[in-house]
Amino acid sequence: MIKRTLFFGNPAYLSTRHEQLVVNFPEEDKKEATIPIEDLGYVVLEDPQITITNGLLMKLVQNKTAVITCDKQHLPCSFLQPLVGHSEQTERMRYQLNASMPLKKQLWQQTVTAKVENQANHLLKQGGNALKLKRWAKGVKSGDPGNIEAIAAAYYFQNLFEGLEGFSRNQKGIPPNNLLNYGYAILRAVAARALVSSGLLPSVGIFHSNKYNAFCLADDVMEPYRPFVDAVVWDIIETGCNINELTRSIKAELLSIPAMDVVIDGKQSPLMVAMSRTTNSLYECFAGISRKVLYPDFVWC
């Protein structure tokens, strides 16, 4: 089932009644609105004057709805997750924590290969030369000792947005870095939500291991999904709109990322559903049930 994404960019009072999210606005001319909580996958809270009741937070968490808050720059900065996301959580976490280093290296090899392959296909879609990326994707070794992931990313962005003067991929760089940052933050929340639902710890990665990062594993599994965000950003740029500011319409496009269609294991699926398949297949690798992580393929005609 495709879950809805709600975005609140204005002051509002959010509460719950009869298993519904109830929205009331300060403006007298706006009527009360209700949405079934079971339909919600993501709730993005941007305006600092939003008030939300504890009763609603409890029901959203129990529904495994990702509650995302934003900072003063209007970028997602936090993610509320349940303490218990799966009935077998303890056992699944034990498998994850006991994963051997050779297994982690093999999983990271699969992840990097899938990411570079998807970057190559996206670059080809936009008319770029992806021969190097295709070659690098085939040459990734266990653990990626050659750091192909970083080398490929530098080449990919240099060629993807070569028409934008002065662009380089940097979180604090010039646009469209602002769009990429927002899209990746949404993707990160999708990955974290799926990992929790699969009974895994988002903070214990297979490659990322920064002690200050609470979402290392989410950053790992989202890597092959990044080109799908890049494709959305590319399409926004192609409209010719002003990308210096994250307008409401641009945010609406980026917030559609969880519901966009991708192809995984030969079948079309919403990205949020595909991410759940990815995280469950990762658990199966930790448990010794499978040796392959399922990642989406960037397919274009």
Detail the residues annotated as belonging to a binding site: 149, 208, 223
Within a 10 A sphere around the Cβ of 192, how many other Cβ atoms?
26
Q: Quick check: 174 and 245 in contact, CB under 8 A? A: no
Q: What is the dihedral of CA 183, 185, 187, 189, to 10 degrees?
A: -150
Using CA atoms, how far residue 174 sits from 169, 204, 243, 244, in Å, is 9, 32, 10, 8
CA 277 to chain centre: 14
| Known binding-site residue numbers for Mn(2+) | 149, 208, 223
Pairing of strands 33-36, 20-24: antiparallel
Distance CA 47, CA 104 (A): 40
Do the beta carbons of residue 187 and residue 222 sit within 8 Å? yes
Q: Where are the alpha helices (DSSP H) in 161-225?
A: 177-197, 216-221
Residue type (1 letter), 159: N
Strand-pairing partners, residue 33, are: 23
